[in-house]
Amino acid sequence: MGASILTAKNLSKVVPSAEGELTILHELSLELNKGDSLAIVGASGSGKSTLLGLLAGLDLPSGGEVTLAGQGLSNLDEDQRARIRAEHVGFVFQSFQLLDSLNALENVMLPLELDGRKDARERATELLQRVGLGQRLTHSPRQLSGGEQQRVAIARAFAAEPDVLFADEPTGNLDSHTGERISDLLFELNQESGTTLVLVTHDERLAHRCRRLIRLEAGLLVAPLEP
């Protein structure tokens, strides 16, 4: 397949703890091409969210390097990394991080408006309809259920058509039917726009729809990356 969009080389993360330094990610390398889909699986505490944050440039590694859309992230300052993220990345957090002062529609419109898109309202409305929330546009996050907030977060992450969509447990709060719908949507966008998917998931069905899969055990990569 096409050119590589995301690479990690000898990525590690060490954090201080009361017992001394704690290695939460050990020398991990991977390479993803445009349009790939990767599932990251592993037990709670194995380092999945840590890895996702490093790959998306939200956090800096203790060692190694991430290259996203041709740019090495370690040499960039926080503003430059923020610009790369705005241009290339969508992120669905484990805790949705919606803005409480904005309603569902405004939350999804925000990245589009920051991007200067004139069709922000139309596109945000369409995405919310696609995740089944056409009747909840003016609800604030507080007035939405956990699963509904999850779906708003997914619509927001897709809004600006990112090259790479990172999602931490995208179906974690959803019943199996809604989860399946969201999985379908993720792979539709993967097919339609060539969006690369990097998903942390405990959902076996979702994991097995991805072309590639890695398993973490205590911060170590234990499953092969190749299909």
Ligand X SMILES: Nc1ncnc2c1ncn2[C@@H]1O[C@H](COP(=O)(O)OP(=O)(O)OP(=O)(O)O)[C@@H](O)[C@H]1O
Residue closer to ligand X by CB (options 120, 200) is 200
- The answer to the question of residue 49 lying near Mg ion (CB under 5 A) is yes
Residue type at 63? G
Least Å from the CB of residue 62 to ligand X: 11
| CA pair distance 133, 155, nearest whole angstrom | 10
| CA pair distance 183, 181, nearest whole angstrom | 5
| CA pair distance 112, 169, nearest whole angstrom | 24
Direct distance between the N- and C-terminal alpha carbons of the chain, in angstroms, rounded to an integer: 13
Query: Considering only 46-54, 67-75, 103-111, 213-221, which stretch makes contact with Mg ion by CB under 5 A?
Result: 46-54
Residue closer to Mg ion by CB (options 130, 172) is 172
- The answer to the question of residue 37 lying near Mg ion (CB under 5 A) is no
Q: What residues pair up with 22 in beta bridges, in sequence order?
A: 15
Least Å from the CB of residue 199 to ligand X: 12
Of the candidates 23, 6, 19, 8, which has an alpha carbon nearest to the alpha carbon of residue 62?
Answer: 23
Residue closer to ligand X by CB (options 71, 94) is 94
| CA pair distance 53, 166, nearest whole angstrom | 9
Least Å from the CB of residue 175 to Mg ion: 21
- The answer to the question of residue 222 lying near ligand X (CB under 6 A) is no
User: Which residues, numbered 24-83, are part of the site for ligand X (CB under 6 A)?
Assistant: 24, 42, 44-50
Residues within the interface to ligand X (CB under 6 A): 15, 17, 24, 42, 44-50, 94
